[in-house]
């Protein structure tokens, strides 16, 4: 018997099938929350399929969460493991050190010790080093650093920051020196005779000129007009030497007589210092003032060096060396004095003890003429009658009676009568009063002479009698036998 099939009329609608409870839980709307979902599964679903939250916002939240977790881990590690210097090695503190009676172990040994652990040895070495020189800031841990403005700040910045440190060097280049010729320093009142002295004031922008015309002139230095400040006439007193006092309040002047005079700029008067009893000197014409302002040292006859108080102008003591004294120089602190003599010997004097502590022979010198010590105390220049200028290392000369010079400068062919360093110890000026245009500027770091000075076209240069650098080496002046104080602007340095 054939079964009849139930035929349903097609009305365009989809048959409504009955769904099981399982099918209803699976077919939930997209993005809705299910009770049986895990948090990671839900977060992954949002990232892949989207949902109520934006995808970018979710990514940011995840990155922040990850970053905070990593920072917390680093903090925990920093707390658990404190930083130690990278040069510390565990292997360096193992073992032991055999201590002998050698001199190098004197500061390490305690009593009659013969053998100590390496760790103790390292600790003692560190202690002795820190006594001599403290550890720099860059070598300390952040907790050990003292935030003070010392020389290590630049090193610390260099190690912690990336920047352009390849800037132009501030050192003076060799070869050619950049000079500009200015109006003469004494343009408003040139000297009628040869100048014996030109010197810049130790603090102010002022220069003095003096010579055989009995006049002391003071000018303000601006490089253009150089106006005259004051002119003082000393009747019957030709000035052979004139120097500012260390404080700049006085100008001390020497001549061919037994007395000397000084000009008190604060009071505006000339003070005469009569002949000093006990000194058998006929002339008090050459002297120098110590940088510390304690002494005025007059060069006497027969190797005498007379120490006078710069304050009271009273005689204190007389030092003696063999032969005739030609020139003297002082260290920057005024503790030592160097004297160069006609016999070619250089004497080193301790002015506190007032005694000679060393003596050496200037290499190849037949007759000493001039001497100068660099402001940084590194070099000593000795000029001789032959024109050769020997430059010595100031530390090596104390260890030998016949030291070898670092450099022998042979650019002068006549006696070197003057030698002077600039304030940075980068330029050494040497000159001779025995020839025309006999001035040379030496680049001290390379020990070479600047080839573009003096200029050949300068007609009134002629014979140099004296010279000096300004306070910051911005100006250089040369006094000539015609009474002109030539003025040059050294462009590498500041305005004065």
pLDDT per residue as tens digits for the range 241-254: 999 999 999 999 99
Residue 463 clears pLDDT 90, i.e. is over it = yes
> 444, exposed or middle or buried, with CB in 10 Å at 0-12, 13-18, 19+?
buried
d(CA 123, CA 129): 10
Contact 344, 365 (CB under 8 A): yes
d(CA 305, CA 443): 32
Contacts of 303 (CB under 8 A, 6+ apart): 320, 321, 322, 323, 324, 325, 341
d(CA 369, CA 432): 10
Residue 24 clears pLDDT 50, i.e. is over it = no
Cis peptide before 406 (omega within 30 of 0): no
Question: Which tokens belong to 485?
Answer: 């104080």
Residue 21 clears pLDDT 90, i.e. is over it = no
d(CA 361, CA 375): 22
> 373, exposed or middle or buried, with CB in 10 Å at 0-12, 13-18, 19+?
buried
Phi, psi of 165 (to 5 degrees): -95, 0
pTM listed for this prediction: 0.67
Check residue 2 and give its pLDDT.
43
Angle between helices 55-80 and 39-49 (to 10 degrees): 130
Check residue 263 and give its pLDDT.
96
Going by pLDDT thresholds of 50, 70 and 90, the confidence category of residue 36 is: low
Q: What is the largest CA-CA distance in the chain?
A: 168
pLDDT in tens, 69-98: 777 776 666 555 556 666 666 666 677 777
Span 43-52, average pLDDT: 59
Residue 397: how many other CB atoms lie within 10 Å: 22
More confident position, 29 or 36? 36
Question: Which tokens belong to 319?
Answer: 């030092």
Whose tokens are 């003082």? That residue is: 232
Q: Give percent above pLDDT 90 in the chain.
A: 60
Whose tokens are 């009568």? That residue is: 417
* CA-wise closest residue to 305 among 248, 371, 247: 371
Whose tokens are 């000029």? That residue is: 383
Q: Is 39 left (phi over 0), alpha (psi -120 to 50) or beta?
A: alpha
Check residue 66 and give its pLDDT.
76
Span 159-177, average pLDDT: 69
β-pair partners for 254 = 241
Q: What is the DSSP letter of 67?
A: H
Going by pLDDT thresholds of 50, 70 and 90, the confidence category of residue 151 is: very low
d(CA 329, CA 373): 6
């Amino acid at each position: 018997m054939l079964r009849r099939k139930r035929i349903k009329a097609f009305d365009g609608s989809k048959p409504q099938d009955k769904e099981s409870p399982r099918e209803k839980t699976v077919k939930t709307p997209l993005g809705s929350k299910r009770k049986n979902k895990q948090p990671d599964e839900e977060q992954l679903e949002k990232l892949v399929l989207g949902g109520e939250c934006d995808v970018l916002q979710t990514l940011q939240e995840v990155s922040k969460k990850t970053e905070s977790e990593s920072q917390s881990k680093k903090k925990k590690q920093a707390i658990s493991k404190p930083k130690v210097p990278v040069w510390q090695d565990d292997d360096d503190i193992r073992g032991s050190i055999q201590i002998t009676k050698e001199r190098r172990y004197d500061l390490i040994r305690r009593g009659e010790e013969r053998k100590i652990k390496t760790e103790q040895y390292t600790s003692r070495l560190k202690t002795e080093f820190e006594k001599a020189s403290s550890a720099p800031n860059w070598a300390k841990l952040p907790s050990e650093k003292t935030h003070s403005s010392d020389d290590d700040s630049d090193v610390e910045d260099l190690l912690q920051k990336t920047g352009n440190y390849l800037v132009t060097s501030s050192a003076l280049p060799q070869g050619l020196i950049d000079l500009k010729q200015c109006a003469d320093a004494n343009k408003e009142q040139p000297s009628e005779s040869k100048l014996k002295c030109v010197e810049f004031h130790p603090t102010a922008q002022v220069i003095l000129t003096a010579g055989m015309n009995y006049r002391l002139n003071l000018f303000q230095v601006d490089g253009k007009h150089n106006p005259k400040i004051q002119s003082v006439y000393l009747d019957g007193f030709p000035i052979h030497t004139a120097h500012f006092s260390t404080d700049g309040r006085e100008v001390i002047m020497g001549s061919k007589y037994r007395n000397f005079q000084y000009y008190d700029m604060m009071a505006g008067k000339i003070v005469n210092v009569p002949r000093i009893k006990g000194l058998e000197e006929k002339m008090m014409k050459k002297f120098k003032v110590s940088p510390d302002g304690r002494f005025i040292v007059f060069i006497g006859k027969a190797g005498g060096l007379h120490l006078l108080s710069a304050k009271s102008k009273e005689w204190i003591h007389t030092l003696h060396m063999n032969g005739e004294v030609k020139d003297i120089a002082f260290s920057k602190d005024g503790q030592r004095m160097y004297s160069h003599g006609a016999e070619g010997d250089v004497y080193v004097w301790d002015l506190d003890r007032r005694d000679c502590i060393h003596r050496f022979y200037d290499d190849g010198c037949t007759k000493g003429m001039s001497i100068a010590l660099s402001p940084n105390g590194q070099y000593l220049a000795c000029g001789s009658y032959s024109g050769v200028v020997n430059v010595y290392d100031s530390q090596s000369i104390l260890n030998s009676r016949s030291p070898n010079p670092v450099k022998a400068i042979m650019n002068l062919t006549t006696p070197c009568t003057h030698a002077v360093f600039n304030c940075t110890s980068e330029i050494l000026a040497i000159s001779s009063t025995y020839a025309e245009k006999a001035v040379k500027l030496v680049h001290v770091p390379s020990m070479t002479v600047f080839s573009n000075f003096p200029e050949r076209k300068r007609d009134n240069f002629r014979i140099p009698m004296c010279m000096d650098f300004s306070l910051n080496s911005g100006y250089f002046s040369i006094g000539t036998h015609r009474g002109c104080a030539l003025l040059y602007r050294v462009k590498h340095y500041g305005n004065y």
